[in-house]
A and B are shown apart, each in its own frame.
Chain A
Amino acid sequence: MSKLDLSDPAIIERLSAALEVAGINGIEITRPDQSLLIRVAGSADGHARQVRSSKTDVGGAVVVVTAPMVGEFWPSDLSRTGAPGAFAAGDTVGFLKVGPILLPVSAGPSKCLRQHLVEPGTIVGFGDPIAEVEPEA
């Protein structure tokens, strides 16, 4: 049996839908090469999903975080947008907004944000660079 690609938007969408239907709050899948965390919670303007999907990256150097899927990019903390040396909030560099759903984009192991590479509200596609991060000093 082939392994699921946990960064595949279709897989994330199906898992999220299944969790909502089943009334389950979240799921975490961890493999040596990939991990996926989905949390579903009620919010004022509908359901919000938190999704963290990451692949193992190389430590040490500056890492470019790319969009795992199509979405409208919003930084995780607007007040620190693009501020060099800021820490990515809650391990995320920002969110991909798709309709009412916000999908957090993981910073991975490198948690120090160097800069965002796109303006807030930009529509980004699969693989588009979103931010540069580097390991904490």
Chain B
Amino acid sequence: MQPHQHFDKVLIANRGEIALRVVRACREMGLKTVVVCSQADKDAAYVKSADQSVCIGPPAASKSYLNQHAILLAARLTGAGAVHPGYGFLSENTRFSAAVEEAGLTFIGPDASAIATMGDKIAAKSAMVAAGVPCVPGPDAELPSEADAIRAVAAEIGYPVIVKAAGGGGGRGMRVVLTEAELLEAVSLTREEARKAFGTPALYMEKFLQHPRHIEIQVLCDTHGNAVWLGHRDCSMQRRHQKVVEEAPAPGISDALIGPVGAACVAACKQIGYRGVGTFEFLYEDGAFYFIEMNTRLQVEHPVTEETSGIDIVQQQLRVAQGEFLSMEQGDVTCTGHAIECRINAEDPATFMPSAGVITALQLPEGEGIRVDTHVEVGYKVSPYYDSLIAKLIVTGRDRADAMQRTRSALAAFRLEGIATNLPLLRELFEDAAFAEGETDIHYLEKWLKTRGAA
């Protein structure tokens, strides 16, 4: 494990709202900040809000935000003592985590071995089974290559099954198989895709759940063997595996039901010596949880947990990286109220095509329980080079019904002109009766979009 190092300057190896979010947390803790940027982001106000900013390359992410050499060079030049990777880009890159530490800096996240273990889906599942975390039925081992052996594995699990790439993630490298007749061709195709996309042909097979919800558990661990879980989130409202709305807590799930799962996640973290923040993702169906993967980084949707738990997760990340002991025990963690996050994307609300351009007018909703995390302002140029997320609207209420109603009002008050956004879609979605009722599954949004003729 990396020795604790004092640092007073943090380099943020990311962009947009999360870069600004980390700047804010650092400032509140008295830490100086360096934001690296590409030429496309160089003139953005959020970049200038840091104590220091350095342009590290051209707009293409491969030559800037994914350029490990340039980022480390910037860290060395600016005297940063730590690197915060945000989410996406290099946040779950084993080699980057190792390179940062080899350079004598602190990587604000888990060490390379933990990222590697959790990045390999077979190894992750094996670690979770060992820690008593419930997993989707299916062996925690690589799928064999012989046809008879493959058929035997599928028969034992029971159809339908899903074939997944061990190195995959984010909804890529997977195929659902309904009957034995489709099995071998599906395995062959997925294996080839995995070889090309992830550099390894390794596959594994699981039971395919037909109507699951996506539930996740946030954990926080220090480097002294302490860990807590900070409640749960429901991220079932997805389109093409991309989350659109997230909420905490997950509706309709009792503390008695999820308590043992949270405890198992904490046990797993302690067992693998995990440090920092992380998220265990589960499918939930018929009252049972099934582990799917662990994200070894800060999540886009972390604010809903912050709002219900009252814990600043980014500050906690920084404190853990400084070698501090967790300031809380599990009994101190209490989640109250209900929080909902809407991802505001620069995209056409009907076709979902990305929308680039200049924001000509912007009015953010304000009021009790309303938080907007964004890096954009009037005159900001939305670039075509990166993810379309431009803002996160986080609304907290006494309970889910209150939070839903406040979200409707906040969405109505949200004005953004000059580019297309998904605000009209979100406004319509929040009027949907089934969504308002809660407990919709991961397929609900796509079905709803088809019904309204927009998918």
Contact = CB atoms under 8 A, between A and B. Distances in A.
A99 B76 contact: yes
Nearest to A72: B77
Interface string A42-75: 0000000000000000000000000001111000
Contacts of B52: 123
B39 A126 contact: yes
A128 B64 CA distance: 14
Given A70-B74, A98-B76, A9 B54 contact: no
A117 to B, nearest CB: 15
Contacts of B42: 125, 127
Interface stretch (B55-63, B142-150, B219-227, B299-307): B55-63
B76 A126 contact: no
Nearest to A10: B69
Nearest to A96: B77
Interface residues of B, number: 20
B77 A127 contact: no
A9 B67 CA distance: 10
B55 A71 contact: no
A13 interface: yes
Contacts of B77: 70-72, 98, 123
A8 B70 CA distance: 9
Contacts of A9: 67, 69-70, 73
A34 B392 CA distance: 44
Given A8-B63, A123-B78, A126-B39, A70 B73 contact: yes
Interface string A101-127: 000000000000000000000010111
Q: Which of A10, A98, A126, A127 is the most central at the interface, judged by chain B CB atoms within 10 Å of its CB?
A: A126
B70 A126 contact: yes
Contacts of A128: 55
A19 to B, nearest CB: 17
Given A70-B54, A125-B42, A125-B74, 6 more contacts: A9-B67, A10-B69, A10-B70, A70-B55, A123-B52, A127-B39
Interface of B: 37, 39, 42, 52-58, 63-64, 67, 69-70, 73-74, 76-78
Please list the 10 inter-chain residue pairs (A to B) with the smallest Cβ-Cβ separation, ordered nearest first.
Answer: A125-B55, A10-B69, A125-B54, A126-B55, A70-B73, A126-B57, A70-B74, A127-B39, A123-B77, A70-B54
Interface of A: 8-10, 13, 69-72, 98-99, 123, 125-128
